Amino acid sequence: MTALAFAIPATGWASPKGIQEVLMGSEIRGLIIGNTLTGETSKAGSFAYYYNKNGTIHGADYKGTWTIKDNALCLTGAEETQARCWRFGRDGHNFQLILDGSVVGTGSVLPGNPNDL
């Protein structure tokens, strides 16, 4: 499996310390739709989620919906009533998950749904 390289133009946004560039909502949408994001967060550990173009998200032990709001990716699990939202930062060919101005996770993008999630 190969990770997708970022082919997203630079934005004028100021980035939090340690982050090369914060992605805009349209850039996040282009990154996730029809792809699998894999990585690790400091709180929840490793993850692998497929982002369907119909707004659903599928992982081995997670199902829910996704939306883009205020330049952040917001997820609502099947058993949750409130969305959790993260901003994305570019880190070379990978991404960073940003919460409250701090990097809380890193990951990469796999084309399509190679893990059949």
Q: What is the pLDDT of residue 11?
A: 38
pLDDT of residue 9: 37
* pLDDT of res. 17: 53
Q: What is the pLDDT of residue 44?
A: 84
Q: What is the DSSP letter of 61?
A: T
pLDDT band at 29 (very low <50, low <70, confident <90, very high): very high
Q: Is the distance from CB of 77 to CB of 62 less than 8 angstroms?
A: yes
The answer to whether residues 10 and 55 touch, using CB atoms and an 8 Å cutoff, is no
Tell me the pTM: 0.80
CATH of 21-111 among 2.20.25, 3.40.50, 2.40.128, 2.60.40? 2.40.128
- Whether 20 has a pLDDT exceeding 90, the answer reads no
Scanning the chain, the segments in alpha helix (DSSP H) are 25-32
Q: Where are the domains of the chain?
A: 21-111
> Can you give the pLDDT at residue 90?
86
Burial per residue of 9-48, b for 16 or more beta-carbon CB atoms within 10 angstroms, e otherwise:
eeeeeebeeebebbbbbebbbebbeebbbbbebeeeeebb
